[in-house]
Amino acid sequence: MVDQSAIGRSFTPVTAHVEPGRLRYFCETIGERSPIYRDAHAARAEGYSAIPVPPTYLFCLEMMDAENPFEFLTELDIDLARVLHGEQGFTYHVPAVVGDTLTFRSRVTDVTDKKGGAMTLIAVVTEVTRQDGVHLADMTRTIVVRNPKAAST
């Protein structure tokens, strides 16, 4: 079971390049039809330097380019079969656009037991920086771990 000692734990940084083909595939998959995510002229007309990414794309990009996308679970000895998606959020400081190379640095910020220990909520914050060192975004996510019931005595 994950406990308070996990707070502050960091994981291997992930570096990913924002490629137009993968972004186009992502937009198709989620049904995103806005021209700013598909056409460089439309994006520039809206003030972007290139085609921007939709808000949730960063989470997918980090997972796709991680050498071990489940390192977080492995390092904290969490069984994937017990994991539920709690919530996630994105705070953008500047847009991510096609051509950017991004670095994702994740760390555990909180561990809370709920329902008398039946579940543990693990909060993770990921700082995203651009190739020039600019702090581009912060991603937050809460993972819910269903804990096994204590053995009866």
Which CATH number belongs to the domain containing residue 109 in this structure? 3.10.129.10
Q: Is residue 151 part of a domain?
A: no
Q: Which of 90, 103, 101 is nearest to 55 (CA)?
A: 90
Range of 76's domain? Answer: 4-146
Q: Is residue 84 part of a domain?
A: yes
DSSP 8-class letter at 5:
G
pLDDT in the model for residue 151? 43
Per the structure, how many domains does the chain have? 1
pLDDT in the model for residue 82? 92
Q: Is residue 19 part of a domain?
A: yes
Q: Is residue 112 part of a domain?
A: yes
| List of the chain residues with pLDDT < 50 | 150-153
Q: What torsion do the CA atoms of 68, 73, 78, 83 make, to the nearest 10 degrees?
A: -110
pLDDT in the model for residue 2? 86
pLDDT in the model for residue 10? 96
pTM over 0.85: yes
Q: Is residue 88 part of a domain?
A: yes
